[in-house]
Amino acid sequence: MHDDANDTTLNAPAPKYHALALLSGGLDSLLAIKVLQEQGLRVLGLHYVSPFFGKPHLISHWREVYGIEAVNVDIRRPYLDMLVRPAHGYGKHMNPCVDCKILMLTHAKTLLPKYGASFLVSGEVLGQRPMSQRADTLNLIRKDAGVKELLLRPLSAQKLGPTPMEESGLVDRSRLPGFWGRGRKDQLALAAHFGITVIPTPAGGCNLAEAEASARYLPILMNLAEASARDFSLSHLGRQYWAGPYWLSIGRNEHDNKALENARRPTDILLRLRDLPGPMALGRQYEPAAGVQPGMTPQRWSDDVLADAAAFAASYSPKARAQSGEGAEAGRPVVVLVRQGKGEAETVAEIAVTPARQTPLCWAEPKSQALAAWKKRFRTAAPERPKQFFAEDSPEEPA
């Protein structure tokens, strides 16, 4: 138990926090903090934010609903560097869970002095997940993150060896649970004990652990020489299509159209019908990774690629299809505006195309099956990537 009488820092200025905890916002991470708060320990939640997970807007919600103080920590840049080649591989989809935990804990350790804290907390439960929460993996994460003596996993404490924090009496081990396995019954009972009625999802949500989102990320990892957080954010918008290394995003509704316009970079191409309602489409031009299809130029679209993408995007407008005609009547062109550059440097051109779902470039949505093949190639013969694989984003709010 934490006991001020045994606190050697009694005469020194009180540390602001005893511990820093990884706070995904999932139930386990909340409970790990609550069981320590119940012992009178002050714990600050670290909510790591990357292009793939993180809900930075929930900081005040956690304070008001659960009584938990937390701060957002932007981990985009190092996360992207790790994602391309995680030392311990990927999980079922594109989730590098072991390296993700190692990265967060390694970083959290560096924040201990800043908050006057002496140990780290995570809500992992032994045996709950096949990849990252086996006993051997929990040990490996602790070792590789360099937090062997610093990390407490309170929810499974009774199933794990005592930590220095428990041995010193700072944390009362006898009051910590010994959860194990995949069941949620114990966690729900503990939540009820703390009067938690708003139960969040177990893991807090991570797009890398989802099949569809991972499929959207894969072409970015494969094709771009310098992918940034903004590239991954774009992949969340609208319909995503690739034709070899050419990347086209098409809005599904006005909300998507606006989001695409906002996501636009000076080097992007915006396509929209001149006289008819229809979707906004954004073609992203980028430097390709070494070895991307010879003869193709994703950094500068040719007129043929532009016309192909414009015809394909126009096919998502029912009015454009109707105007173009059906069957023997088909083929009447519609006019698409092509905007390039931004602000005063923007140029606007017009291009006449026949809306077509099947075009010579064969645009296709990313397929999740491609991920398995890529991971296999990665395991057997991962090519060395340039050192500076990911570009620094200009400052912006975490996605």
Residue 30 touching ligand SF4 (CB under 6 A): no
Query: Which helix (H) or strand (E) segment is 137 a member of?
Result: helix 135-144
| C-alpha to C-alpha distances, 160 to 67, 120, 145, nearest whole angstrom | 27, 15, 18
Q: How much of the chain is in helix, strand and coil states, percent to nearest 5? A: 40, 15, 45
Least CB distance from residue 203 to ligand SF4, whole Å? 6
* Interaxial angle between packed helices 211-223 and 369-381, expressed in degrees from 0 to 180 and rounded to the nearest 10: 50
φ, ψ (nearest 5 deg) of residue 356 = -150, 130
Q: How far apart are CA 349 and CA 360, in angstroms?
A: 22
Part in contact with ligand SF4 (CB under 6 A); list of ranges 13-21, 204-212, 225-233, 319-327: 204-212
Using CB under 6 A as the binding rule, whether residue 96 contacts ligand SF4 is answered as yes
DSSP assignment letter at 195: T
Q: How far is CA 115 from CA 13, 48, 348, in A?
A: 12, 16, 53
**Does the protein bind ligand SF4 through residue 54 (CB under 6 A)?**
no
Q: Quick one: 361 exposed, middle or buried, by C-beta within 10 A (0-12, 13-18, 19+)? A: buried
Query: Mask of contacts with ligand SF4, 56-95, x by CB under 6 A?
Result: ---------------------------------------x
| CA dist 388 → 80, 83, 100, 385 (Å) | 11, 13, 20, 8
Nearest approach in angstroms of CB 237 to ligand SF4 is 21
Cβ burial 383-397 (10 Å sphere, 16+ → b, else e): eeeeeebbbebeeee
Nearer to ligand SF4, 102 or 243 (CB): 102
Chain Cα centroid distance, residue 51: 4
Work out which of 36, 155, 190, 206 binds ligand SF4, going by CB under 6 A: 206
47/230 with CB nearer ligand SF4: 47
Which stretch in 159-167, 202-210, 222-230, 297-305 sits in contact with ligand SF4 by CB under 6 A?
A: 202-210
User: Minimal CA–CA distance to 138: which of 118, 163, 119, 117?
Assistant: 163
- Judged by CB under 6 A, the residue of 34, 93, 101, 216 near ligand SF4 is 101
String marking each residue 131-150 x if it binds ligand SF4 according to CB under 6 A = -x------------------
Decide if residue 53 touches ligand SF4 (CB under 6 A): yes
Q: Contact between 209 and ligand SF4 (CB under 6 A)? A: yes
Q: Does 103 bind ligand SF4 (CB under 6 A)?
A: no
User: Binding of ligand SF4 at residue 100 (CB under 6 A)?
Assistant: yes
Instruction: Choose, by CB under 6 A, the member of 141, 208, 310, 336 that binds ligand SF4.
Output: 208
What's the closest the beta carbon of residue 216 comes to ligand SF4, in angstroms? 15
Provide the minimum distance between the beta carbon of 324 and ligand SF4 in the complex, in angstroms, as a whole number. 44
Instruction: Indicate whether 46 belongs to the interface with ligand SF4 (CB under 6 A).
Output: no
Minimum CB distance to ligand SF4, residue 95 (Å)? 4
Nearest to 16 by CA among 109, 106, 110, 113: 113
Residues near ligand SF4 (CB under 6 A): 53, 95-97, 100-101, 132, 203, 206, 208-209
